[in-house]
Amino acid sequence: MSVRPLFAAAVALSLGCAPKHADFGQDAESLDFVYPAARRADVVESHFGVDVPDPYRWLEDPDSAETRKWIDAQNTLTDSVLADILERDAIRARLTELWDYERYSTPWQMGGRTFFSKNDGLQEHSVVYVADGADSPPRVLLDPNGFSDDGTVSLGATSVSWDGRYIAYALSDGGSDWRTWRVRDIETGQDLDDRIEWAKFSGVAWAPDSTGFWYSRFPAPDSPLEQVNENQKLYYHVMGTPQSQDELIYADPEHPTRGVGADVSEDGRVLWLWIGEGTEEKNRLYYWRLDEKGRTTGPLVKLFDDFDAMYRVLGQDGDRVYISTNLDAPRGRVFALDLSSPDKASWVDVLPQGEDTLESVSIVGDSLFAVTLHDAHSVVRRYGLDGSLQQELALPGVGSAGGFGGLRSATDTYFYYTDFITPPSLYRYDLQSSAISVWKAPKVDFDRDRYITEQAFYTSKDGTKIPIFITRRRDIKPDGSNPTLLYGYGGFNIPLTPGFRADRAVWLEMGGIYAVANLRGGGEYGEDWHMAGTKLSKQNVFDDFIAGAEWLIGQGWTRPERLAINGRSNGGLLVGAVMVQRPDLFGAALPGVGVLDMLRYHQFTIGWAWASDYGRADESQEMFQALLAYSPVHNVWPGTRYPATLIHTADHDDRVVPGHSFKFAAALQEGHRGDPPVLIRIETRAGHGAGMSTSQRIDEAADLWAFLVRALGFRPDGLTVRPPAEALPSPVAAPVAPADASAPQ
């Protein structure tokens, strides 16, 4: 590895002769970096006769001494650079002020009790409350802030028994997807001895009499952070007994990649089994009848076993079952069938496919509440169970709505509304009167009247029209000077819809433009839109994003030196792919917890499940070549000037393992030639993102926004910036010495 001068500005500053407020963007002075040395191992893997070097494979082991040394050195370097950005403290202070507002979940009811979660503002985690009756004051039921001293053990999920007696709750340690389930007596607030280990991607389905529950788990792994997750099985746990005595209910050893989940019908007569494989929008739907004691009886009935579509049970009246599906309906529909004669000829269409995408649908009382997406924003309608339209709900604006949960016996339901400049407000909907009233409306120190969101459409490379939301301060003009952050995802049928976040609000206050592009691969326009951004068509997603960047520049909102891109997970792949394809187009890139090695992603934890979107390098030569063509780790070219880059990940992310980000950082730092820095920020007690504490989120946002201030070379509005320290040397990172080449690879 060639060695470049060590952060020349820091050396100059120690001599008292450098600017105390230097930029490192494309308009900045020349700043050179030396990066922690990463050993290049002689590792080559052959695919269809093509030898592909993988010199940084050793970084896939996050716990080796060599990797830990590299992590420490990278964090030291990143911390030293970020510490020199004078605006960072002011950004963190403003983030802390703006984050400090009450946040509630939509309430849910069970067994005559009402439950909701609440965060007072700066609590590390939201607290679960229960109200024992209509006139009872809420009391604390679960406070995750006491789960650990450092706030890194979080609440993963909850499930309340039908009679409202127990709450099962899942613990996540350090952001892991692995869950440990406990059970608490709601009346006494005391935990019981019941404990479930090695659950992952599973809920809890309570028996009708609350004497036990069904759950899914994997075999205990030897290496939780890396080992492939296969052979998920369904068990039944009897309350008061050890997990070792749990009854195996369902397993499919011939198909180890199939997963299973369970749910119990509200009338307690049916146990539904959802059988899926990966993230594809298809599943099998089976069921058992339950006897009077709530135990399975009779044969397992395979209602839908062709894996030809998605089937989700919404509710039932006796044997009449309401199901949402994408069968012959890529934008979604609802039909009803009778379990006594379920043949397709007897199905009854309840909500036929419409022009808009059916994002969610639920049965509450005797009504269907359908949330559809019209150009990536919510429209909500209430229907009778016969499909007759009863009401279209008036929403406060062009934004996102959701919730509408509840039982068939419910007399009301709750929902939320939010958009890019409106914090989530919660509403109560009275099923008898159809009246809507505000349940909780947060008070946030943010003047939303100063800002505006506009939706536009631009043309991608192949002529496809792509929606884009642009949020900005009203007085900002398209003069080409504006710092702009373009966000995208484009995968797994997940739509990006408007929503408020405190960190976005601070970016807007700083004078930034926030743009969200609704790329193919997402769920904005149904399954056809999704499939147009998958496998051999994945390049469409990157072309859509690049076209969005070019459109923002062409419209005069920004210029390349002032344009940053951001995305997480599959969005991290998006950012990594487009920044290596078009390094000239961006001033900064923020790839977060990204899938960045497309040839090996399926060999870790749950990565195999993403093949329905990505394909696998070993499935065909054509698929291998397509993946290799855009895989970020494999498309970093020596001598290329890449944008200022701050990769961010966590060293114990067990969904997208951190080796992706580690290898990308090493490759970029080796190949990059230019002034902007290529850095990596590595959380050491976090996972993929869920369960991060409030302080972790604030710290991360402060670092990202501070990095963009320097990378894009602008002076943010509305911040009181600390004066620079006089003639203090900046801390710098010493390079890591290359390891012995004979060490294990």
Q: Which helix (H) or strand (E) holds 193?
A: strand 191-199
Q: Which helix (H) or strand (E) holds 104?
A: strand 103-104
Q: Are 389 and 381 in contact (CB under 8 A)?
A: yes
Q: What is the spatial distance between Cα 253 and Cα 111, in angstroms, rounded to a whole number?
A: 37
In SS3 terms, 663-727 reads as HHHHHHHHHECCCCCEEEEEECCCCCECECCHHHHHHHHHHHHHHHHHHHCCCCCCCCCCCCCCC
Q: What is the spatial distance between Cα 579 and Cα 567, in angstroms, rounded to a whole number?
A: 12
Total residues belonging to the chain: 745
Instruction: Report CA torsion sign: 73, 75, 81, 86.
Output: negative
Q: Which of 237, 530, 634, 688 is catalytic?
A: 688
How many angstroms separate the Cα of 709 from the Cα of each of 333, 398, 553?
46, 30, 19
Catalytic status, residue 569: yes
366 is written with which tokens?
């005797």
Q: Are 643 and 578 in contact (CB under 8 A)?
A: no
| Other Cβ atoms closer than 10 A to 253 | 9
* Residues pairing with 526 in the sheet: none
Q: What is the spatial distance between Cα 545 and Cα 580, in angstroms, rounded to a whole number?
A: 13
45 is written with which tokens?
């893997």
Percentages of the chain per state (helix, strand, coil), in multiples of 5:
20, 35, 45
Q: Are 451 and 471 in contact (CB under 8 A)?
A: yes
Catalytic status, residue 688: yes
Transcribe 35-89 into DSSP letters: ---------EEEETTEEEE-TTGGGG-TTSHHHHHHHHHHHHHHHHHHHT-TTHH
Local structure of residue 729 (DSSP, 8 states): P
Q: Are 101 and 443 in contact (CB under 8 A)?
A: yes
Q: Which of 105, 161, 360, 569 is catalytic?
A: 569
Q: What is the spatial distance between Cα 409 and Cα 404, in angstroms, rounded to a whole number?
A: 14
Active site residues: 569, 688
